[in-house]
Amino acid sequence: MGDAWTQARNGILGTPENNDFLEFVGDRLVNLMSALLVAEDNFSPDQHVIVDRLVSNNDTLGRLAHQLHLQRYAVLDGFESRRAADWDTKAPWKPPKVLADLFEAYVGAVYEEHGWDLTKDWLSTLFRPLIEKANEDYLRNITVPPRYPNKGTYVTHERLASPTIETEFYKFLESRAPKIVSTAEPALLMLPLSTKFIFGANGDIATDCDVVEIATHLVKFWSITLLVTNAWTFGYLGSMLKLSSCFDLNDPSFSIYEKPMKSPTRENFHGLDSDGIFTGKLAQALYSVIGWYYSRDAKVAEQWGIKWLIPLVVRAYDLIAQRPAFRPSFPEGIGNTNPYVNILVNMGRGPDVPLVTTQDELEEILTIVVLEGKETRGRVFLTKEDVRRINFRRRSI
């Protein structure tokens, strides 16, 4: 696979051309594609989540890397190299995480070189037998839940270190609420009319957990921006869309929050939803909406989702870049140029973005680039060649 394979092999942190980037992309691809492949079987929601996580956990991925002999060709530091070399399938302990990292980096390299369809076909060949075995294990041990991974969904309540940025971002969401709601209508129409969201005692969704599982990975593939995708923001968006009206009537959150909640600044939420349970419920409800839309028409849903999130991602990075302490970290060889180059690299948007100065201009151009590009499968990052083209174009303006 040329340069991508060379980079995927380099697992030494801090060295030029190491595999961090490919591992990051591969991690998202593995989780998303595993969930999609499991969804092809007629499993119950709980069964889907558990089988998916048995297939895509680090233990399984490390064993796959070992079977593919990826460690033989890897460039690792002395400690990790010894750990990878000393492990085999007969060992009484789990494979070292570096093996799973190598597998994810290799998946990222396959995707960068060959695109979505070939990567999914290849992973299907690897994962299909594992899905069958994981399902057999699930059915054989269904009465022993503790041996399975946590069934809770991937809703993160992690927040930025800067409350000021959060406050400004949520003000932006408030100002855009009518547009956010109106542009969400295509997805809301795909939600079954009979939908009732039922949650467990800890706030994890019980109904639609399989759909939510796919959607959480899908959103992570669309955007890596924590300020946009964490539970606080997604919960607030869910409140704008009045998704609590679909909660079960016996859910305590149904009666407590009859009005749209305030923006999730730390001041507004102090003592009100400090544990984030209600926010997490709304976030999962929004994931369910996205998941249902994707299950009905994957391509249209993906185009809608990226277009819906672009204004949020643009504003989030604009706020971050305005901070005096902001110091962009550029890819090897790019140099210390306009901060927007780095922002666009991290946002994962196309190679022909001209220098623009307003929110609306940037939204419009990024939307065109992403949705009309050759690769419309929600690119998380640009390739290095894309970065060079952005940099060259900006210097020539």
Q: What is the pLDDT of residues 211-268, one digit of tens each?
A: 999 999 999 888 878 889 988 899 999 999 999 889 988 887 765 555 556 666 655 5
Helices assigned H by DSSP within the chain? 3-9, 20-39, 45-56, 58-67, 70-73, 78-86, 97-140, 163-175, 177-183, 185-188, 209-222, 226-229, 231-240, 252-256, 266-269, 277-296, 298-321, 339-347, 359-372, 384-396
Mean pLDDT in residue range 18-45: 91
27 — pLDDT class (breaks 50, 70, 90):
very high
Q: What separation in angstroms does the CA of 295 have from each of 31, 187, 199, 207, 301?
A: 17, 11, 22, 16, 8
Q: Find the mean pLDDT for residues 355-373.
A: 54
pLDDT of residue 74: 84
Q: Is the pLDDT reported for residue 180 higher than 90?
A: yes
What pLDDT does 266 receive?
Answer: 57
Cα–Cα distance measured from residue 394 to residue 280, given in angstroms and rounded to the nearest whole number: 41
Helix runs in 157-230, H state only: 163-175, 177-183, 185-188, 209-222, 226-229
Centre a 10 Å sphere on the Cβ of residue 201 and count the other Cβ atoms it contains.
6
pLDDT in tens, 125-163: 999 999 999 999 989 887 655 444 455 555 666 666 678
**What's the whole-model pTM score?**
0.78
CA 324 to CA 312: how far, in whole Å? 21
Q: Are 225 and 317 in contact (CB under 8 A)?
A: yes
What separation in angstroms does the CA of 231 have from each of 225, 228, 234? 12, 9, 5
Dihedral in degrees, nearest 10, Cα atoms 197, 173, 307, 185? 50
Split at pLDDT 50, 70, 90, the class of 13 is confident
Band of residue 389 on the pLDDT scale cut at 50, 70, 90: very low
What is the residue type of 310? I
Identity of residue 22:
L
> So what's the pLDDT on residue 173?
94
C-beta neighbour count of 328 within 10 angstroms: 17
> Do 90 and 128 touch, CB atoms closer than 8 A?
no
The CA distance from 281 to 288, in Å, is 11
Q: What is the pLDDT of residue 277?
A: 84
Query: What percentage of the chain exceeds 70 in pLDDT?
Result: 70
Residue type, 389: R
What φ, ψ does residue 20 adopt, rounded to 5°? Answer: -55, -50
- Does the pLDDT value for residue 288 go beyond 90? yes
> What are the backbone dihedrals phi and psi of residue 306, each rounded to the nearest 5 degrees, phi first?
-65, -45
Q: What is the pLDDT of residue 88?
A: 82
Residue 367, both tokens: 């939307």
pLDDT of residue 331: 42
Per-residue pLDDT band at 384 (split at 50, 70, 90): very low
Measured distance CA(350)–CA(315) in Å, rounded: 17
Exposure string over 44-72, b if 16+ CB within 10 A, otherwise e = ebbbbbbbbbbbbebebbbbbbbeeebbe
Other C-beta atoms within 10 Å of 187: how many?
22
Contact 70, 1 (CB under 8 A): no
Which amino acid is present at 100?
A: A
Least confident of 53-62, 65-74, 190-199, 327-336: 327-336
- Alpha carbon 143 to chain centroid distance? 31
Neighbours of 94 (CB within 10 A): 15
